[in-house]
Amino acid sequence: MADRAKGEYTRSVHLPKPPELRQRPLGGAVVRSAAYVFESAEEYSDLLAGRTEGYSYGRVANPTADAFAAAVAALEGANIDGEVAGEAFASGSAATTAVLMTYTRAGAHVVAARAVYGGTYALLHHVLSRFGVTVSWVDPVNLDEVRAAIRPETALVWVETIANPTTRLADIPGLAALAREAGIPLCVDSTFASPAVCRPLEHGANLVMHSATKYMGGHSDVTGGVIVGPPELIRPVRDVRIDTGGFLAPDEAYLLRRGLLTLPLRKERISASALQFATALADHPAVESVAYPGLPNHPDHELAGKLFDRSNRPDGGPRYGGIVTVTPRGGFDAGLALANGLRVALNASSLGGVHTKVTHVASSSHRQLDDAALAVAGISPGAVRFSIGLEDPDDLIADAIGSLDALG
Ligand SMILES: Cc1ncc(COP(=O)(O)O)c(C=O)c1O
């Protein structure tokens, strides 16, 4: 090319190739290219036909996004025999959409946990229902209810490891056995747990989905999603993603992979602080209830002991994650007042970051639910969800107690 490139404009768009890397860049690398150059027309057509492997187009595959997805697969599949593959998405919702579009079709039925992320509920209830998909909503620790809900046309079981905002768990091993019997995949949204708290594949789940926006990114500065599972279940989801276009951008992928480096460290501290926080608030006179799987009176405390990771815990106990839902006495208005009275914890959207954030559930994440629907989902109108961050736990406790004391 160089000998033919005489003109200024030609020279400026045909710059010399960047150096080939002989050493692995420890800090990772961002490949931002949407297009790739081939040695020949045949190389491109072989790639497109799947006869060779490589990169052809930014919506189809990207090395930075693939590095992130492979890293999550390695973390989730650390103790799994057999290959675990991963695919990256523009958001957790894009990942959920691709999984549901892959494994359902007109006339299909989904069994889903009653307490799922609002966007997942909306996708199933408002969007996929228009394409002929029906849903039975179940309690994911009540295996009799789940067994009764599975029908011949059931295509998928969808649950969350730790539900938002109730912090109730899913009985992943029991659900996996039911799904296996029915010959359908169990997909677990493990966003609240992350692989540093629970690795659902180890307990029999077939697919694991994360909103990487939360604990994987960890700094409230990136949006992304990922799914992992055996290659034969992941490949068709990838195909749907390619056709629907919800791929992860390279810069976001870089940040998410970097976030993974400190995930266990953050999750360890967050879990320890959350346990301290939940314990300190549980007996406050202005508190009606504190929901946290690490508290011995939590209905799924024993199940958490079986499912959650115990690595590197000084006391040998499991990590229970960073979400604590506090319900003050006094209903809806007391919940608002608790959230408004905080000075360290931020009233902020999203969760899973380094800052402690709160949301008054009934007026924000679950505002679409009236009191009756909130009761069915097990949510009190005053519930305030704390996503514990990296601050000193004593500051967080003093902040919450100050706000609770002011409730009178
Ligand atoms: C449990 C859970 N799953 C999925 C999602 C959707 O993820 P995203 O916002 O990255 O699309 C969220 C977002 O809040 C979530 O909390």
Q: What is the pLDDT of residues 344-361, one digit of tens each?
A: 999 999 999 999 999 999
Q: What is the mean pLDDT of the chain?
A: 95
The CA 95 to ligand 1 mean position distance, Å, reads: 10
Q: Residue 87 pLDDT more than 80? A: yes
pLDDT at 43: 96
Taking only Cα atoms into account, the Rg of the chain, rounded to an integer number of angstroms, comes to 23
More confident residue, 84 or 28: 84
The CA 17 to ligand 1 mean position distance, Å, reads: 40
pLDDT at 329: 97
Q: Residue 125 pLDDT more than 60? A: yes
> How many Cβ atoms from other residues are within 10 Å of residue 10's Cβ?
11
Evaluate whether 184 touches 152 at the Cβ level (below 8 Å).
Answer: no
Residues 6 or more apart whose CB falls under 8 angstroms from that of 127 comprise none
Q: Exposure of 358 by Cβ count < 10 A (0-12 exposed, 13-18 middle, 19+ buried)?
A: buried
The residue written with tokens 């990136």 in the block is 222
Give the mean pLDDT of 261-276. 97
* Residue identifier of the C-alpha nearest atom 15 of ligand 1: 117
How far apart CA 298 and CA 291 sit, in angstroms, is 7
The CA 319 to ligand 1 mean position distance, Å, reads: 21
Q: Residue 189 pLDDT more than 70? A: yes
Looking at residue 249, its amino acid is: A
* Helix, coil or strand: residue 385: strand
Catalytic site includes residue 292: no
How far apart CA 118 and CA 96 sit, in angstroms, is 12
Q: Which of 44, 46, 59, 258 is catalytic?
A: 59
Q: What is the pLDDT of residues 283-328, one digit of tens each?
A: 999 999 999 999 999 999 999 999 998 887 777 889 999 999 999 9
* Minimum-distance ligand 1 atom for the alpha carbon of 212: 10
Helix runs in 262-358, H state only: 263-281, 301-307, 331-340
> How many Cβ atoms from other residues are within 10 Å of residue 352's Cβ?
29
Q: What is the pLDDT of residues 24-78, one digit of tens each?
A: 999 999 999 999 999 999 999 999 999 999 999 999 999 999 999 999 999 999 9
Q: Residue 19 pLDDT more than 70? A: yes
pLDDT at 118: 85
Q: Residue 246 pLDDT more than 70? A: yes
Catalytic site includes residue 189: yes
Tokens of 227: 């799914």
* Residue identifier of the C-alpha nearest atom 16 of ligand 1: 117
**Kind and range of the H or E run holding 395:** helix 393-405
The CA 121 to ligand 1 mean position distance, Å, reads: 11
Give the mean pLDDT of 12-32. 92
How far apart CA 303 and CA 290 sit, in angstroms, is 18
pLDDT at 310: 85
Q: What is the pLDDT of residues 167-181, one digit of tens each?
A: 999 999 999 999 999
Residues 6 or more apart whose CB falls under 8 angstroms from that of 75 comprise 195, 196, 199, 260, 263
Residues touching ligand 1 (Cβ under 6 Å) are 91-93, 117, 119, 160, 164, 189, 191-192, 211, 213, 223, 225
Q: Report the half-sphere exposure of 219 (CA within 13 A, side-chain side).
A: 11
pLDDT at 6: 82
Identify the weakest region by mean pLDDT among 113-122, 137-146, 246-255. 113-122
Percentage of the chain modeled with pLDDT above 70: 99
How far apart CA 344 and CA 237 sit, in angstroms, is 41
Q: Which of 117, 121, 215, 320 is catalytic?
A: 117
The residue written with tokens 């029999």 in the block is 204
Q: Residue 377 pLDDT more than 90? A: no
pLDDT at 4: 67
pLDDT at 3: 59
Q: Residue 1 pLDDT more than 60? A: no
pLDDT at 342: 98
The CA 406 to ligand 1 mean position distance, Å, reads: 33
Give the distance from CA 349 to its chain's centroid: 15
> How many Cβ atoms from other residues are within 10 Å of residue 341's Cβ?
17
**Kind and range of the H or E run holding 138:** strand 134-138
Give the mean pLDDT of 84-107. 98
Catalytic site includes residue 405: no
> How many Cβ atoms from other residues are within 10 Å of residue 34's Cβ?
9
Q: What is the pLDDT of residues 294-303, one digit of tens each?
A: 999 999 999 9
Give the mean pLDDT of 388-406. 98
pLDDT at 371: 84
The CA 189 to ligand 1 mean position distance, Å, reads: 9
The residue written with tokens 């800052």 in the block is 355
pLDDT at 313: 77
Catalytic site includes residue 59: yes
The CA 211 to ligand 1 mean position distance, Å, reads: 5
pLDDT at 376: 82
Greatest C-alpha distance within the chain: 82
H helices, E strands: number in the chain: 14, 12
Burial code of 95-111, b = ≥16 C-beta within 10 A, e = fewer? bbbbbbbbbbeeebbbb
Give the mean pLDDT of 124-141. 96
* Minimum-distance ligand 1 atom for the alpha carbon of 94: 11
What secondary structure does DSSP assign to 43-57, as a single string?
HHHHHHTTSS-S--B
Phi, psi of 126 (to 5 degrees): -100, -35
What secondary structure does DSSP assign to 57-93, as a single string?
BTTT--HHHHHHHHHHHHHHTTT-SS--EEEEESSHH
Distances (CA, A) of 250 to 90, 194, 244: 10, 22, 18
Give the mean pLDDT of 119-139. 95
pLDDT at 374: 84
How far apart CA 105 and CA 196 sit, in angstroms, is 34
- Angle at the Cα of 139 from the Cα atoms of 136 and 144, rounded to 5 degrees: 85
Q: Which of 103, 139, 171, 189 is catalytic?
A: 189
Q: Residue 206 pLDDT more than 90? A: yes
